[in-house]
């Protein structure tokens, strides 16, 4: 949606559209943007789509990336399923405006990051603040998720529905759960590691989600990026390179009240205990992601508790700690093995 708003703003032609299950919305978008190709998640919806070139499933997405002439692909898929399109697009030399953080988490080592522009607020904020001056540390912020004010004992019995109540905004289920466990921020640190090529990166809680990123420069200065939480801003930069007109209203500095930065504690967010090790061994991202996706499904089905998800991830992390993928094929294999391991457990 945000991408289409920005595309309209800049009169950018949309060559292909990818949708999940919301076919009504897709038909409306087809009517307005007249794309050449369309892909949907499920074959069964094909007849409902008002278009003559409809492709289906992941294979369908890869096909339309292959056929398209566009130099830029916006990838806002959620989860592991977003990896293949990122690989396909970058291997064709296309630029990718990337909201799918799992692409870099799982396979950052094998993706040409020079073709990647991040379109989430945190990495955009870092990119916006970086300049020629030498940096000592990068920071991204976290909202703290649904349970940031909860007692740990209460979190232990939290339900899937509880975890979906994000304090600051409404997002898809997976990212909202990842926000409650802090997995989302762990992924973003890994993403930043690949994008900005530094392990000197950490996260802080900023509950109002007004400050998205900070940079500590070697000289002793720290700079911060404040903006409304709205992906239109990073998308505009990703599509245009340069933005010289208002995309969002300015932050209301007098109206926002006080802001503070708080530490992310391991008791509240158990997966935080692997942060330093994971940043030092980023190839373990594939394991963490696979275990996490399976853990979320288990939590949704009531097969594990909220903290049970962290247990699953930490257990798989230990189990697969010594395995290093040498190429994309091995990553796909490890992903499968980790999922199988989690299931049998």
Binding site for a second copy (CB under 8 A): 128-129, 131, 133-134, 136-137, 139, 204, 214, 216, 218-228, 233, 236-237, 243-251, 253-254, 256-263
Measured in degrees and rounded to the nearest 5, phi and psi for residue 266 equal -70, -25
Report whether 152 contacts 268 (CB < 8 A).
Answer: yes
Rank residues 249 and 302 by Cβ distance to a second copy and give the closer one.
Answer: 249
Between CA 21 and CA 45 the distance in angstroms is 8
Q: Judged by CB, which is closer to a second copy: 60, or 125?
A: 125
Whichever of 93 and 134 has its CB closer to a second copy, that residue is 134
Q: Distance between CA atoms of 93 and 95, rounded to whole angstroms? A: 7
Q: Which ranges of 96-151 does DSSP label H, i.e. alpha helix? A: 101-107, 121-129
Contact yes or no for 335/80 (Cβ under 8 A): yes
Contact 109, 173 (CB under 8 A): no
User: In this complex, which beta carbon is closest to a second copy, that of residue 182 or of residue 214?
Assistant: 214
Task: Count CB atoms within 10 A of the CB of residue 47.
Answer: 8
**C-beta closer to a second copy: residue 251 or 323:** 251
CA distances from 66 to 17, 90, 224, 283 (A): 13, 11, 39, 28
The least distance separating a second copy from the CB of residue 218, rounded to whole angstroms, comes to 6
Nearer to a second copy, 15 or 230 (CB): 230
Write down the least CB distance from residue 93 to a second copy, Å.
27
- How many CA atoms, within 13 angstroms, populate the side-chain half-sphere of residue 129? 27
The least distance separating a second copy from the CB of residue 327, rounded to whole angstroms, comes to 38
In angstroms, give the least distance from the CB of 195 to a second copy: 18
Residue 200: CB minimum distance to a second copy, A: 12
Q: Which of 136, 128, 282, 133 is nearest to 213 (CA)?
A: 128
Q: With the C-alpha atoms ordered 325, 328, 333, 339, is the resulting torsion angle positive or negative? A: positive
- Smallest distance from the beta carbon of 51 to a second copy, in angstroms? 34
C-beta separation of 55 from 44 below 8 A: no
Rounded alpha-carbon distances, angstroms, from residue 105 to 53, 187, 189, 190: 32, 6, 9, 6
Q: Which token pair is 10?
A: 């800049």
Of the pair 148, 283, the CB lying nearest a second copy is at 148
The least distance separating a second copy from the CB of residue 267, rounded to whole angstroms, comes to: 16
The residue (of 197 and 245) whose beta carbon lies closer to a second copy is 245
Q: How far is the CB of 121 from a second copy (least distance, A)?
A: 10
Q: Is 30 helix (H, G, I), strand (E, B) or coil?
A: helix
């Amino acid at each position: 949606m945000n991408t289409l708003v920005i595309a309209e703003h800049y009169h950018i032609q949309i060559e292909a559209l990818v949708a999940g299950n919301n076919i009504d919305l897709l038909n409306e978008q087809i009517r307005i943007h007249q794309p050449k190709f369309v892909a949907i998640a499920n074959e069964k919806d094909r007849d409902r789509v008002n278009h003559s070139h409809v492709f289906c499933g992941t294979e369908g997405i890869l096909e339309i990336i292959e056929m398209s002439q566009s130099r830029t692909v916006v990838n806002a898929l959620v989860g592991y399923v977003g990896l293949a399109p990122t690989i396909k697009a970058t291997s064709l030399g296309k630029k990718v405006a990337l909201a799918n953080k799992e692409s870099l988490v799982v396979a950052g080592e094998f993706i040409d990051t020079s073709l990647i522009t991040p379109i989430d607020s945190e990495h955009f904020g870092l990119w916006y603040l970086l300049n020629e001056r030498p940096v000592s540390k990068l920071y991204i912020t976290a909202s703290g998720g649904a349970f940031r004010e909860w007692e740990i004992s209460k979190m232990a019995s939290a339900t899937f529905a509880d975890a979906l109540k994000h304090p600051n905004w409404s997002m898809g289920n997976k990212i909202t759960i990842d926000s409650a466990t802090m997995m989302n921020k762990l992924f973003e640190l890994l993403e930043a590691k690949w994008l900005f090529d530094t392990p000197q990166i950490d996260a802080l809680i900023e509950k109002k989600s007004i400050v998205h990123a900070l940079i500590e420069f070697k000289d002793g200065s720290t700079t911060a990026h404040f903006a409304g939480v709205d992906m239109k801003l990073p998308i505009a930069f990703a599509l245009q390179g340069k933005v010289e007109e208002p995309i969002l209203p300015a932050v209301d500095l007098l109206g926002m009240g006080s802001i503070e930065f708080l530490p992310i504690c391991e008791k509240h967010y158990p997966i935080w205990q692997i942060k330093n090790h994971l940043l030092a061994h980023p190839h373990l991202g594939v394991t963490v992601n696979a275990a996490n996706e399976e853990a979320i499904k288990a939590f949704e089905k009531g097969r594990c508790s909220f903290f049970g998800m962290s247990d699953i991830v930490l257990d798989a992390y230990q189990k697969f700690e010594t395995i290093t993928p040498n190429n994309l094929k091995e990553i796909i294999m490890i992903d499968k093995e980790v999922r199988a391991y989690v299931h049998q457990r």
